[in-house]
Each structure stands twice: as structure tokens, then as C-alpha cells.
Structure 1
């Protein structure tokens, strides 16, 4: 009788443990595998990532068809955490105006929707209001200006650009800043077009994020193949610090799937605090740290990965009984206050 009672007690304990494990698995935060399944990555053979192809040291298409730059290293880091080795990652060029819609071009000229956009994409309140879902930031830089070294223009503020012809990316709020300063704004869809017009004497200056402009001032990293986008009649450039107020924080457009957003944020947080931190630093040192010596008057970017906002922090369940404070992936992000939106719109070039 005593043995029967013991057996019954053990059976009840086993049933209770199984029930608890199942309850936690259902009600608790998801595991990384569950997030991958929710994001549609399980069984997916190839990860499509939209990137820039004309920004030296940020993201550039080289002869031979390979891409190189800081954004490319970040994209590989994220892809690996999503379960895709480098051979299963496909980079496609994407224009500035197409980043919000995640529309990139294939080699045969077709537009396709990519899984992620890692393309020097500044996080702004306006873009979030328009529906772009950003990851946590992965780089902090600021707006700056380049001019020809041979010219006499040495701006220290936006006001110094009054009456000047200044080129910038057409989808950035830098155009509004230039117009407000009395400059003649020339919007282009590719920053390389702006730099070429500066070489040719058609404009007086180019403005965008310092990390983007730094690559045109510095020589390419040792060992890199020549770029596919070739500029003619290049001239030495002066990189000017215009004392821009505020930061440019680059983020990944993860698309509308909250599980994909959480996976990317998890990857970036582990890069900031865990095992991939050295990969982030190595990429920064190679592409931006090395470029700093050629950009004496302007800081290229901050040499530490920016921390996430509280709403971007993600934790997953590693064991069935673990419970972590994972934000509800279906909960909409709190809308910024109108005042905060105005400040962000004023302070960001939004490249």
C-alpha cells in the first residue's frame, strides 16, 4: 500500500511538472527558435538584405561582385545570429527612397522585397510615424559637410552655407535644414552623385552623415578591390565640423514582423554586451577608426555601440522554466509626444 501511495505521488509530481513546463512555454516569453519560426525564417534558404552600394567604408559594391564596409559587417553579424551563414546571405543594392518600402534591385533590374535593410538608415520620429519599424541603433554619428580643399569655403555652421549650392540625399531632412539656412539645396538619390558634382565644380558642398562622408575623404582600406561605382576627376576634400546639434543613430529596417524586430534587437544587444562585441569593434576600427586620421576636423562616429532604448530590449526563454521580461511583440510602440517628434525632426538629417 505504501509503495502504491509513493508511486501515485511521483506520478502526480510528474504530471504537475509537465503542466507547469507547458504553461510557462505558452504564457512565458518565446525561445529564440520560436521567434525564428514566427519570423518565417525556419526552412528559409536565403536571407535578402538591402544595402548601399556607393558609400566607401560604409557599404560599397566592389569589382568581382562583393560588398564591403561597416554596414556589411553588421549585416553578416545579424544574419549569423538569425541562422544564416555568409554563403546564404544575399546583398542587393537599395536606393535611399526605397529603404522604407524595403525595395531593392536584383542584377536583372527587378524590384524585390528584402528581409532587412542595413543601409546607413537614420532612426527618426517622422520615419517611425510613417510606419518604418527600426531596430535598436547600431551606430552613432552626426551631420557634417565636405568641400573641396582647393576652394575657399570652410563652413563652421549651417549659416555659412547661405547662398551656396549644397547637395544632399533627397529623402533626408537635411534639405529642409539647408533651405532654412538660405542655401540652395540639391537633392540626389545617391551620395556618390553629390560627390561627383562637387569634383566637377557644379556645387559648393555636400552634407550628410559624417560616417558616410568620411569614406570619400579617406583612402580605401588596404586590400579592398576597386569599387564598381567609379568617380572621375577626384580631388582632395575637406571634412568640416559644422557643430550640428544632435546625433544620427543608424538602425535596421526589420519590416513589420515583430518577431524579426526582436531577433535583430537580440543580436545587436548580444553584440554590445556579449560574445559578438569584438566583431562590432573590429568592424568599427577597420572602417571608421582607420578613417579618423584623414578626417582631422570632424569625428567620424562614436567608437562604442549605442545602447538600446528600454522598448528595444529583448530577452528570450532558454529553458522552459525560465521567465524573462520580454516586451509583448504585438504591443505597438508608444508614439512619441509631438514635442519630442519636433525635436528629433529638427536635430536629425535623417540620412
Structure 2
């Protein structure tokens, strides 16, 4: 026969078991990957080869002759664009430069606005308010973007057929000799000056001070960019990804220690994740970005340069202030062939 004290003890034990069964087990700490997980490529892309000899092509652009915005060339690429629409390769995920507004579906940013100005010059007879509808924005992964130009150089490389072709690439494309020779790129006059920086999480200083360097640290950058070589030269472990935006995901997953790319792109990353911090002086190299065009489309190169010269001063300052308010930005000088 169970006594009253015995019943009390049994009830207490049962209650303890019930509470234990309902209490979740403590969560183990999420393990940090021992090494970055590489992203498989979408296509086997050509890489711009480091220059060991003099540049075969020219990084200088073609001077506008002053007629492009009043009398368009006929019978060439500009006629084709007027018939089918303007195809522009952009990032679509680079905040402040070119990113798709998820509410409206529109591509927004400094580079999207620049594309509209160029389109208005191609369609001077159309309603300016309706010209943006004549632009087809094509998402360009960082690594494969130059393959989207219809050039003889890309024609010799079969995987280029897997990449949608565009008329212009406006995607923070730094002007380099290697891109001219490898992909047949003709650059416009530059519209943006950038500085390669470093992005990592706030509070990193307790474990690692990014200001002292990146030696031995895993640093993510877009494949096919000049950033990777600079990371390696500074002692970092370069981690390439197909698209630079993937680097932010790698950082958030703790698969890399930092991201290194142009500061204008890093500002967009910081907007997306305010827990990050930019260190501008670690990988401190200045570049200029320009519109990339196929070298066979000289009329289009001259038209783009005419637009840029018209915007030099107030036009570009307005775009800088609109998308990078509070930051001092000046349009780089043009480098044209000949006088």
C-alpha cells in the first residue's frame, strides 16, 4: 500500500520527467567551415590574361566629333538598336549602381540612370518619359560579363555562345589592357572613379584587425576581376565567386573573413547588412570604370562618349549626389586617342 508521502514523491518524479521532456535540448554552436566552399561556374569563362607584353589594343577611347547627338550615324549598330531596343548588361544586384527594385521591378541606380541618358540620345525622336521602356536590362554575372559583347575575340571562344549578347556593359567595369586584348572590349571615357576596399563584420577587431593587413585571411572577390590578384599579392587567400554579390552571402555564412571589391559596391553591401564595416585603406588601389562596348561598334562608342561629355559637370554631379549623397565624387578625365 502506497503511503501519502509515497504518492507525493511519485507525482514529483512524474512532473520532473514531463518538464524534462518538454525542455528543448541546448543547441550546439554552429560550426564554422574550415575552408570556403567554392561556387561552381555557370560556364567555363575565359579569364583576362595578365599583361606580359605591351597592350595590343588601346585603353584610350574614341573622341566624339560633336555630331552624335544631332545626327545619328545610319546603317550601323545604332540603326539596329533603334529597331530592336537597347540591350544593356548590368549587375541588377549592385545597390546604388544597378539593382532591381523588388516592388516595382525597375532597375535603379547610377548606372541604370546613365543607361537611360544614353538611350535618350539613341532615340531623340521618342518621348523621353517612355525611353526607359526601350531598354532591356540583362543580368551579367561578374565573371562572364565581357563575353556578352559580340566581338571577334569572343567568337573564337565557344562558351561565349552561352552568354546573352548586349550592346553595352555598364557594370562597374574597370578599364584594363587585359580586357581590351582578351575580349575585344572598347571602353568609353570613364564615368566613375573607384577605390578597392575591404568589407567585414563589425566587432572583428577583437579577433583580427583588418587595418593591419589580410595576410592569411580568406577574402572573396568576383572571378575575372583584377581584385583577386591584388588580394594574393597582399598575402590574402583569394576566394573567387561567379558574381561579386555572392561574396556578401559567403561573408554572412562565415565562409570567408572579408570581401574586397570597389568601394562603391561595398557601400551597397553595407546598405544590405548594416552589421558590416568598410575598411578603405587595406587594399588601396584606384581604378576608373567605363562603359564596355564591342570594338567593332565605333559609332556607338562615339555616341556614348558624346553623352558622357554632355553630362560632364552638372549631369554626373547630379547622379553622384542622388546615389552617393555626402561623398565627394568627381568624374575622371577622358583619355581619347589622338588630339
Residues 240-255 of structure 1 aligned to structure 2 (within 5 Å): 240-242=279-281, 244-255=283-294
CA displacement 1:175-198 (0-9 Å, x = unmatched): 122222221111012222111111
Task: Tell me which residue corresponds to 1:117.
Answer: 169
Task: Tell me which residue corresponds to 2:73.
Answer: 36
Task: Tell me which residue corresponds to 1:66.
Answer: 106
Secondary structure of the structure 2 residue equivalent to 1:260: helix
Secondary structure of the structure 1 residue equivalent to 2:278: strand
Task: Tell me which residue corresponds to 1:322.
Answer: none
Contact 2:149 2:294 in 1 (8 A): no
Q: Which one has a bigger Cα radius of gyration?
A: 2
Specify every segment of 5 or more residues in structure 1 that has no aligned partner in the other structure, as ranges. Answer: 1-28, 105-109, 220-233, 293-301, 313-324, 326-351
Go from structure 1 to structure 2 and tell me whether the alpha carbon gap of 1:40 and 1:179 turns closer, same or farther (over 3 Å shift): closer
Task: Tell me which residue corresponds to 1:198.
Answer: 251
Go from structure 1 to structure 2 and tell me whether the alpha carbon gap of 1:241 and 1:113 turns closer, same or farther (over 3 Å shift): same
Residues 39-188 of structure 1 aligned to structure 2 (within 5 Å): 39-42=76-79, 43-63=82-102, 64-83=104-123, 85-102=131-148, 111-130=163-182, 131-152=184-205, 153-156=208-211, 160-188=213-241
Task: Tell me which residue corresponds to 2:31.
Answer: none
Secondary structure of the structure 2 residue equivalent to 1:263: helix
Which TM-score applies when normalising by structure 2? 0.68
Secondary structure of the structure 2 residue equivalent to 1:78: helix
**Distance in 1 between residues matched to 2:113 and 2:67, nearest whole Å:** 26
Go from structure 1 to structure 2 and tell me whether the alpha carbon gap of 1:252 and 1:45 turns closer, same or farther (over 3 Å shift): same
Cα drift, residue 112 of structure 1? 2.6
Name the count of aligned residue pairs: 250
Secondary structure of the structure 1 residue equivalent to 2:294: coil
Residues 214-233 of structure 1 aligned to structure 2 (within 5 Å): 214-218=267-271
- Provide the aligned C-alpha RMSD in A: 2.4
Secondary structure of the structure 2 residue equivalent to 1:36: coil
Which TM-score applies when normalising by structure 1? 0.65
